[in-house]
A = this chain, B = another copy of it.
């Protein structure tokens, strides 16, 4: 029920997703009457979905604490289904803060992990780039950054299909002495860890769009600002280009002539192609779709969730967190067998 054009957009998105993932089954939570009516017009989505009624909706301006008290919201019931293992994951276009808080409290953090993070994929000159944290943790210590790097590595392997993704730690310079103690300590741990060979060292802001590394690790404050700054710069150029190509006859003809290339460029940068921020580090898959997206964007968020489920994202995270051994409870024993704590 969340998002600007819900629930219609969600069901249109599921119609696309059901075709792409023929074996997937969707538990659709919300206003039963409206959902069934909308589903009646969608053959594939109808066959793939089970509807579960939820009387309440978490509105976009509801505080996370208020959302927590609302036990019969569509968001809560969907998250409960993940906590009870009825569903492998949840995709929502609703209130971000509420989704993060509910997911953290109900689905819970993976054993041995200090804090979950928000991750997303974006375009770069050298292919897709994974960035995290994007705002779940405004302040981070070295352990958090190292854990984000481990999860970013697994994310790039499972969702982008890379074999040995390169990893960069965002800093104000690429020299080893730059930044504060937290960053230098995190870099030191990463260099000595199992992902050491993939660790590129410090990267700077311009390295994100340049695609210097496949994964960019940073604290939630910097990541959130960097993501939105980059999006803002792209939007500015897009708006200015639209002005250029609508200013007079010659420019309009130019647009028609250059259209195939410009359309490819626009498609490549299409935010819908990158829709689906992932909350990594929970006992289940949680994907946040942009609230303003359309069916195509929502279907992409479902793709991301499916990739994570099918490629056993969380199993890999558990193994790799044990290998990095930041927490004694998760350190492998002398036979190399991970001893995972149960939360």
By a beta-carbon cutoff of 8 Å, the part of chain A in contact with chain B is: 123-125, 135, 138-139, 170, 172, 179-180, 204-210, 218, 220-222, 224-237, 239-241, 243-245, 247-248, 250-251, 253-258, 261-262, 264-265, 268
Contacts and interface: CB of A to CB of B under 8 A. Distances in A.
A64 to B, nearest CB: 11
Contacts of A204: 224-225, 228
A257 B255 CA distance: 9
Given A138-B172, A258-B250, A209 B222 contact: no
User: Max chain B CB contacts within 10 Å: which of A210, A221, A268?
Assistant: A221
User: Max chain B CB contacts within 10 Å: which of A124, A231, A255?
Assistant: A231
B209 A236 contact: yes
B244 A262 contact: yes
A172 B208 contact: no
A209 B225 contact: no
Contacts of A124: 236
Contact of A138 (B180, B227, B232, B237): B180
A243 to B, nearest CB: 8
How many copies altogether?
2
Contacts of A230: 205, 229-230, 232-233
User: Max chain B CB contacts within 10 Å: which of A124, A227, A232?
Assistant: A232
A227 B205 contact: yes
A218 B225 CA distance: 10
B253 A228 contact: no
A258 B262 contact: no
13 contacts: A139-B180, A170-B225, A179-B221, A206-B232, A229-B233, A230-B230, A233-B233, A237-B237, A240-B268, A241-B265, A245-B258, A251-B258, A255-B258
A228 B206 contact: yes
A210 B236 contact: yes
Q: 7 shortest A-B CB distances, which residue pairs?
A: A205-B228, A206-B232, A244-B261, A254-B258, A254-B257, A205-B229, A209-B232
A234 B232 contact: no
A225 to B, nearest CB: 4
